[in-house]
Amino acid sequence: MRRIFFISFVAVSLFVSGCSRQADTNSVQEIAKPEPKQVTQTQTEKSPSGILEHGSRTAKVVALTFDADMTPKMKNDLKTGVVKSWYEKGVIDILEKNKVPATLFLTGMWAELYPDVTKELGANPLFEIGNHSYDHGGFHMPCYGLGEVKNKKDEIDITQRILEDLIGYAPKYFRFPGGCGAPDDVALVSQLGLQVVGWDDISGDAYIRDSAEPIITQTIKNAQNGSIIVFHMHGGRTAPQTVHALQAIIDGLRKKGFSFVKVSEL
């Protein structure tokens, strides 16, 4: 497994460095790149590490998931007007228009900046809300240039409180920023009563920024029964193509016979 991880890491590193660094040199501080080990998937529903990476392989369903990242730098860019918004409403509009359910992993800081949106999303039966840490730091370093989390338990607890206050329920699911979590971290999340959710289909929307086409192609190609597909819903310069790729992905997956469920329904 470690060898597979390493080989995948090298392959993904080459790919990432080849296509995204020049597109946005700030991005490495802001957003995690896909977790390389997810490229080569185990066939179990929960990996030996306790991470839920996909559901049953027998039902022709997939779960779309969308992360809303927010780092201190992203917040600062918003406050200073460098960035107009870290909420890509178009993504949510497409999901609603197509009646496609989704699981949304929100950082606590994002929810604080968009409390009304968070309330609306939490009240919408099409969606369920998960915890994506408070300010998107790495739990297990190195993590694609993300800053290191200082107090792991607080990152989870504080975000649970922020989200529960806004949406009226405590999220059941947690996703590590960048997918960077060691077994101890998975155990901590579990002790706090949450299930760690990963993915087995990387849309690539956080590092393919020039064109929607490769996101569409690889997401549809890699989808299997029970797949958890990872996207981002904060848009901006770090995930600019999600909104342009999503409709074609929904159409393409439906054409292949898939229907959509939330993670809790996998």
By CB under 5 A, the count of residues binding Zn ion is 3
Using CA atoms, how far apart are residues 1 and 210, in angstroms rounded to an integer? Answer: 33
88 binds Zn ion (CB under 5 A): no
User: Which among 34, 6, 8, 30 has a CA at the least distance from the CA of 208?
Assistant: 34
- Can you tell me which residue has the tokens 């393409």? 252
Q: Which is nearer to Zn ion, 54 or 234 (CB)?
A: 234
**Cβ of residue 230: shortest distance to Zn ion, in angstroms?**
9
Of these, 67, 185, 200, 201, which contacts Zn ion (CB under 5 A)?
67
**Cβ of residue 149: shortest distance to Zn ion, in angstroms?**
13
155 binds Zn ion (CB under 5 A): no
**Cβ of residue 209: shortest distance to Zn ion, in angstroms?**
16
**Binding segment for Zn ion among 41-49, 68-76, 194-202, 214-222 (CB under 5 A)?**
68-76
**Binding segment for Zn ion among 65-73, 157-165, 190-198, 255-263 (CB under 5 A)?**
65-73
- Which DSSP string corresponds to 209-224? -S-SHHHHHHHHHH--
Look at strands 201-202 and 195-196 and give their pairing: unpaired
Burial class (CB in 10 A: 0-12, 13-18, 19+), 196: buried
**Cβ of residue 91: shortest distance to Zn ion, in angstroms?**
14
Q: Which is nearer to Zn ion, 32 or 94 (CB)?
A: 32
Q: Which is nearer to Zn ion, 114 or 258 (CB)?
A: 114
**Binding segment for Zn ion among 15-23, 115-123, 173-181, 242-250 (CB under 5 A)?**
173-181
Helix/strand number for the chain, H first, E second? 10, 8
Using CA atoms, how far apart are residues 200 and 229, in angstroms rounded to an integer? Answer: 6
Q: Which is nearer to Zn ion, 33 or 258 (CB)?
A: 33
**Binding segment for Zn ion among 58-66, 176-184, 243-251, 258-266 (CB under 5 A)?**
176-184
Burial class (CB in 10 A: 0-12, 13-18, 19+), 5: middle
69 binds Zn ion (CB under 5 A): yes
Using CA atoms, how far apart are residues 197 and 228, in angstroms rounded to an integer? Answer: 9
Interacting residues with Zn ion (CB under 5 A): 67, 69, 177
